[in-house]
Structure 1
Amino acid sequence: MGNEADNIEAAPRAIHATQDIELKGQTADEGYELFEEAQNDSATYTLEASDAVRRKIDLQLLPLMCILYGLNYVDKVAMGWAVLFNFRSDLGLHGTQYSWASSMFYFGYLAAQYPANYFLQRYKTARILSFAVIAWGILMLAHLGLKNFAGLMVVRFLLGVSESVVSPGFVLYTSMFYTRREQVLRTMLWAAMQGSFSIVSSLLSYGLGHITNTALKPWMYIFLVLGLLSILTGIGWLFFMPETPNKAKFLTHEEQIIAVQRVAENMMGVKGYEWKYYQMWYAVKDPKTWLLLAFVFFTQLPNGGLTSFGSLVISGFGFDSFKTLLIGLPSSVVSAGSMIVWGYFSMKHGNLRTWGMIIPLLPAIAGIGAVYGTEGTGANKYGRVIAYWLINSYAVTWPFCLTIIGQNISGHTKRATTNIMLFMIFAAANIGGPFFFRSQDAPKYVLAITVILVCFCAALLCGIVLRVYMIMENKKRDNEFGELQTTEEKVEGMRFGMHDKTELENVDFRYVL
């Protein structure tokens, strides 16, 4: 019995010894010097010290992250508000031209994904994000000079290009500064700004829509205000956001060491600048990648249509333009509120990431089912509106998808490649979504509502399969290599992560669910 136990314990040690040999001569992570400084000094940090560093990081990063991500969303959907104030007639849009203009944003988004993620990997993430938001702010202002469909198509394409770095950049940036447990709530906070800023911007659009008898038309003020705010936010990022925790000037040297140590426990490193082509293949062959791609397709195909046509669907219930704006607000409340609630419970209880992809789809399915089932029945329009509000609970699933990438996919190039594939599917689905809202189906859009219902059910199945797959993989690794409980037991895995190895290579890596 003793020899058998010794053999079981020796296996992980032998594997770690092999890993150490593999790491020799390889380029280390951005924060590796501080990581090794802590290991050589046998330095440990208390929970209180970690919390103090995390609070300083929160105060420095979260305000500007939330503002940027909120503006990223409302800039994207601003045309959906402008269309309520003669935007289509002023530009002479007819037929499917508005649908094409809505989708053209995602053509730019799709085309830019590979270079966007490549640059985010190879260069300074914070600087790329700041330049991108300044660029899209300028493009928002360019809407004021539009005269026709052709000009709108060009501006929307370039807007998609400039915004293509934001979501993948935020996944990367969040993983640089926070532990895997902390990332969930932070991701939910900045993702919740979509709904929060949508509420504020809807009210703003409501007020701006009443401005008449001026040189600018009412819809122009929407783009003017959002464009100026975007440029100011980009300038703020340029001057106030640190690139990595080891270079954060608002932290002391000792705090920088703690910040790096905290992130090292993710076994994913801080930041690496080398593009490793073999990791692209690792991303392609990983079953998680394809389950995520399927999930994103089935949730974002509905999103593409609801983003651009949601206000028109509500107006089809029998409301005028101004009431449509106000009645649409609770959808954003459902979205933002659900994200914050889910983020809190996920941080408190842990392992709710895949549940956050599954459970929010249930009220969304119920809501779209109710809208579909009451079509042509003479049901009370306010009851149908309440059902429509529930649909937006699906928005919670998107940031949870991002947390799966940020916390369960290691290797900087592998994570970037997964982002490329995922955001290409994201863009393609959002391109196709608006075309299910056919002009001949207005104002009821029965075909689009049917497609949305089917997609949500398919996404639910993908989320369940993803959770089961990761549970099985964790059990397989525990049985083969043993469970790791303490930080000391995880040091070799942390070192492997600090040398930019994927979770498929690092036997100490375990998926968070």
Structure 2
Amino acid sequence: MSAIKTDTGSDEERFDKAGYEVNQEPESESGVGNSEPAYVVDHGAERALCRKFDYRLLPVLALMYLFNALDKGNLGNAKTDGMEKDLHFKSNQYNIILSVFYVPYVLFAPPIAMLGKRFGPARVLPILMACFGSMTLLTVAATNFAGMMTLRWFLGMSESAFFPLVIYYLTTFYRRGELARRLAIFYAASNIANAFSGLLAYGVFHITNTRLYPWRYLFLIEGSLTFLFAIFAFLYLPKSAVNARFLNDKEKALAYHRIQVDSSSVVNEQFNLKESLKIFRQPVTYAFLAIEVCLGVPLQSVSLFLPQIVARLGYSTVKTNLYTVAPNISGAVMLLILAFSSDYTRRRGPFIALGFTFTFIGMLIYATIDVINQKHVAYFATFMMCWGTSAPSVLLSTWYNNNTPHEGRRVVLTSVGVPLANVMGLVSSNIFTPGSAPKYIPALATTAAFGAVGAVLAASLSLFMVLDNKRRDRKLGRKLDIREVPTELLRDGPSVPEFRWFL
């Protein structure tokens, strides 16, 4: 590959097909050879290209994820309006339909993600969206526990690989240092979805004199909009930067160059299962997965049970749903603050640890105070809960994607890691039991403990990466900036001497 410069010349051989100058350099001290560093000299062109991606891709992907989060998390709102009574649930059957979602969610994520890599996320993502929109719409016709459980099974199957494929899709457009804030903007849709769901529930639950129970309108509206938007997304999303109709030839070449030198070792590499599974030979993979486990319990506890947590403050059903809006919005804001700070400092681990700490403190406060007599403090604690769940999820996914130049391994790790965090909803849905309502002290304490362990693991892994980078620099004889090494040379990860951890 060639370095990209802004000046011009008459020698035809000095330029690539898009008109950018080829910079032939001698072998560097690092032993990297004459391959170029991950710098792009024409920053103006690069910023303009990123803006095009931001305007054309992020709004559509964010709306897709908003509908994904709505369709997955609307049971909590429906429960507050008497769904259990209307469908004649017994004992802990509500917890069972929450739990059954995660079984296919974990089982089907890797194979569907691999299909997404094979056929392209731009086509597979809208198909998955149409499927989970259909399951949500069919919930309107559910009349009993068996029907709801069946629909939740297929909902889990269709949503399983959605987030991993979106992450992979974005890594084919953005460089490593640009990814966190873009992924945060996309993921903020989840918080906004939870807030919007509360507002929608607030409005829908005022519906009277109708043949349908008010909670059914949640599923009717959300499912219909999801399915319609999936059709639009299928027609709109480009398969890759090379196929993007909104880019000219010069911009397509620049887009390819950026990913080749600072994201993927081989751009649009053909998927090879045997080669991709080698990611599990790297010990650090298991550290990332352990952090995903610790992340999953706080993430799912807040996502699934925030309405029940807020209900302990003694508000009416309508007000309870309304009061979930502000904490979720503040969570989206904190997510953006931490993600932008992470990209600016090119550090992931410290901000992940900070997010876990927010969760730990929020849960601890809520579990130890008299929430009725200290409503303002308790309500503030729900804000901290939301601060500490969204940011670690985004930054953790970004962290291990940044450290995995091989596209196939990246897809496999993400398709295991993200569902692993979500399957911890099995823990969340079984610690928030009817018997511990309305205080849910055991559930809050358990969630706080997972937050504390997650903070320690993230900080420890970050420290290991710092020390290992220094060890590698000592062996080389000088400090090597990760931006000096193109990702095309880092296909085999930490086994390559030039590899440096993205902290």
Q: One fold, TM greater than 0.5?
A: yes
Offset at 1:274? 2.2
Letter matched to residue 274 of structure 1 = F
Asked whether the equivalents of residues 277 and 413 of structure 1 are also in contact (C-alpha less than 8 Å), the reply is no
Report if aligned partners of 2:70, 2:197 keep a CA contact under 8 Å in 1. Answer: yes
Query: What are the superposed Cα offsets for residues 119-139 of structure 1, whole Å, 9 maximum, x if unpaired?
Result: 122221110001000111111
**1:346 corresponds to which letter in structure 2?**
S
Within 1, Cα distance between the matches of 2:241 and 2:104? Answer: 32
Which digits, 9 at most, give the CA deviation of each residue in 1:61-100, with x for residues without a partner? 0110110111111211111111111111111112110001
1:416-455 → structure 2 map (5 Å cutoff): 416-455=411-450
**Residue pair 1:66, 1:189 contacting (<8 A) in 2 also:** yes
Correspondence 1:314 to 2:314: no
Query: 1:297-376 maps to which residues of 2 (within 5 A)?
Result: 297-347=293-343, 349-375=344-370
* Structure 1 position 508 matched with structure 2 position 498: yes
Please name the residue that 2:82 is paired with.
Answer: 86
1:272 corresponds to: 269
Q: Percent identity?
A: 24
Task: List aligned pairs for 1:474-513, cutoff 5 A.
Answer: 474-481=469-476, 482-484=478-480, 490=485, 493-496=486-489, 501-513=491-503
Q: Is the 8 A contact 1:437 1:445 kept in 2?
A: yes
* CA 1:476–1:236: 2 relative to 1, 3 Å: farther
Say yes or no: does 1:255 pair with 2:251. Answer: yes
Offset at 1:418? 1.4
The CA distance in 2 between the partners of 1:186 and 1:239, in whole Å, is 22
Superposed displacement of residue 236, structure 1? 1.9
Structure 2: distance between partners of 1:398 and 1:284: 21
Query: Could you tell me which amino acid in structure 2 is paired with residue 59 of structure 1?
Result: Y
- TM-score, normalised with respect to structure 1: 0.87
Match of 1:409 in 2: 404
Distance 1:216 1:508, change over 3 A: same
Partners of 1:305 and 1:436 within 8 A in 2: no
Describe the SS at the equivalent of 1:504: helix
Is 1:214 aligned to residue 210 of structure 2? yes
Match of 2:196 in 1: 200
Distance 2:195 2:103 in 1: 27
Query: Partner amino acid for 1:495?
Result: E
Q: Say if 2:463 is the partner of 1:468.
A: yes
More helix by share: 1
Matched, 1:173 2:169: yes
Is 1:70 equivalent to 2:60 in the alignment? Answer: no
Structure 2 partner of 1:154:
150
Q: Give the match's secondary structure for 2:493.
A: coil
C-alpha distance in 1, partners of 2:302/2:44?
45
1:33 corresponds to: none
Question: 1:83 and 1:438 mapped to 2: Cα distance?
Answer: 14
- Deviation of the 1:443 alpha carbon: 0.8
Indicate conservation of the 8 Å contact 2:202/2:319, yes or no.
no
Contact 2:359 2:386 in 1 (8 A): yes
Q: Does structure 2 conserve the Cα–Cα contact (< 8 Å) formed by 1:409 and 1:503?
A: yes
Deviations 1:221-261 (A, max 9, x none): 11111112211221121111111112212111111000111
Equivalent AA in structure 2 for residue 297 of structure 1: V
TM-score by length of 2: 0.89
More displaced 10-residue stretch of structure 1: 410-419 or 501-510: 501-510
Q: 1:151, CA displacement in angstroms?
A: 0.8
| Distance in 1 of aligned mates of 2:229 and 2:493 | 35
Question: Is 1:380–2:374 an aligned residue pair?
Answer: yes
- Deviation at residue 506 of structure 1 after TM alignment: 4.1
What CA deviation, in whole Å up to 9, does each residue of 1:460-484 have, x standing for no partner? 1111111012212222332334544
On the 8 A contact 1:108/1:160 being kept in 2, the answer is yes
Can you list the C-alpha shifts for 1:251-286, whole angstroms capped at 9, x where unaligned? 1111100011111221424322221414413x2232
- In the alignment, residue 67 of structure 2 is paired with which amino acid? L
**Map of 2:13 onto structure 1:** none
CA displacement at 1:505 relative to structure 2? 4.5
Counterpart CA distance in 2 for 1:178 and 1:386 is 36
1:311 & 1:92 partners in 2: Cα distance? 21
**Separation in 2 of the partners of 1:485 and 1:444?**
51
CA distance in 1, matches of 2:353, 2:28: 40
- d(CA) in 2 for partners of 1:145, 1:48: 54
Give distance in 1, aligned partners of 2:157 and 2:127. 12
How far apart, CA to CA, are the structure 2 residues paired with 1:246 and 1:73? 30
Note closer, same or farther for the CA distance 1:476–1:66 as it changes in structure 2 (3 Å cut): same
Equivalent residue number for residue 4 of structure 2: none
CA distance in 2, matches of 1:242, 1:55: 16
Q: Deviations over 1:159-185 (max 9, x none)?
A: 111111211011101100011111111
Change (3 A) 1:278 1:330: same
Deviation at 1:313, TM superposition (A): 2.0
Q: What is the one-letter code of the residue matched to 2:205?
A: G
Sort the Cα spacing of 1:465 and 1:12 in 2 relative to 1 into closer, same or farther, 3 A: same
Would the alpha carbon gap of residues 246 and 383 (structure 1) be closer, same or farther in structure 2, given more than 3 Å must change? same
| In 1, Cα distance between equivalents of 2:492 and 2:228 | 37
Q: C-alpha distance in 2, partners of 1:512/1:285? A: 19
Which one of the candidate residues 164, 187, 191 is aligned to 1:191?
187
Is the CA contact 2:297–2:425 (under 8 Å) kept in the aligned structure 1? yes
Q: Secondary structure at the match of 1:182?
A: helix
3-state SS of paired residue (2:405): coil
Consecutive unaligned residues of structure 2, counting only runs of 5 or more, are 1-26
> Is residue 2:302 matched to residue 1:295?
no
Partners of 1:381 and 1:49 in 2: how far apart?
A: 52
Distance 1:486 1:173 in 2: 23
Letter in 1 for 2:93: Q
Q: Deviations over 1:104-128 (max 9, x none)?
A: 1111201212212211222211100
Q: Provide the C-alpha distance between the structure 2 equivalents of 1:10 and 1:234, rounded to a whole number of angstroms.
A: 49
Q: 1:503 to 1:168 in 2, by over 3 A?
A: same
